[in-house]
Amino acid sequence: MRRGSKAQKTDLRVFLTEHRAVVTPAMAGLPAKGLPRRVPGLRRDEIARLLGVATDYYADLERGLLPAAPETSLQDLLSEVLALSPNDRQRLSLLLDAAYPNGGAVTPEQTPADPPEQQASKPDSQQDTEHSSHAPIRQLLDSFDMPAYMRTRSLDLVAVNRPGRLLYAPVLEWAGARKKTVNLLEFAFLDQDAAQSFWPDWGDVITRAVSDLRTALEAYPNDPDLIGVVGTLTARSRLFCRMWIDQDLPPHSSQGEEKIFHSLIGTVTVPFRMLAEDDGAQVVVFTPSAGSPAHAAMQRLRAWAAAG
């Protein structure tokens, strides 16, 4: 494998170091910790967090040590994070080409967020044992007569009660067809036609979801699942890239409304509440008031399922 020369790698490192030195955490939308900072601008771990990659991955990128250049989508996101001018964007592209002359591209998923021995091997469908600590929550979900589900801090659905499975059938079927764990963000961004059909207010849904993901990554910056989701979406969705660095995302809210279209009950707006777990997971319970149109729609859905 042909690699760039030492001088070309140095040029790339100097360029990235100089540009991240002029971007403050506040400019990048990161919370101020109130602690003395030893370096001007953003640290490598902060850049990595904004890119949704492991710190070691970004450090190797900056030093020209990756097996190949990062994907174009990640290069674009890096340019946004560093607030590069059009000329500097072109300069970065040239420096990456020089440092990684062998061609090809490497994605963040190919560089683990943690040492391999710390990463659990997961099948396509989530292991029940991984979330065994949530068994009491699963029982609680089954006690609700309205839709409810549990999602991890990376927005994987790991438990859904029967009313929830009826309401979220399009999302579950999408994941089932791909033999993978249901991740709400991947459904929302990677199959926009299906997601926009399911959520008529799709724009509001993805705004909330990206905000929740950012909040989770700030609390758990080394979580490989969080890093993996951000890396996947960064590589496959330009819209996600733009939203991820948006400083104007709303803060996380534990309650709200969700507008859903279901082929059996039409369009319904259902209020919900979120209950936080200690590990960052959340239980989402839909809470339509008795006698409301949303409550009546949920009753019709349950009656249809019972009749079927």
Q: 141-155, 202-216, 230-244: which range is least confident on average?
A: 230-244
For residue 198 the two structure tokens come to: 């399911």
**Running DSSP on this structure, what letter comes out for residue 28?**
T
pTM of the model: 0.65
In the predicted model, is pLDDT for residue 128 greater than 70?
A: no
- Taking alpha carbons only, the member of 108, 5, 4, 92 closest to residue 51 is 108
Answer yes or no: is pLDDT of 181 > 60.
Answer: yes
Q: How many percent of the chain have pLDDT more than 90?
A: 36
Predicted confidence at residue 33, as pLDDT, reads 60
Beta strands in 112-202 (DSSP E): 148-151, 157-160
- Domains (ranges, CATH) in the chain? 2-30+38-99 (1.10.260), 144-307 (3.30.450.180)
Residue-wise pLDDT tens digits, 260-306: 999 889 999 999 999 988 888 999 999 999 999 999 999 988 888 77
Of 261, 244, 272, 250, nearest in space to 193 by CA: 261
Residue 200 has pLDDT above 60, yes or no: yes
Query: In this model, does residue 8 exceed pLDDT 60?
Result: yes
The reported pLDDT for the residue numbered 49 is 82
Region 164-184: mean pLDDT is 85
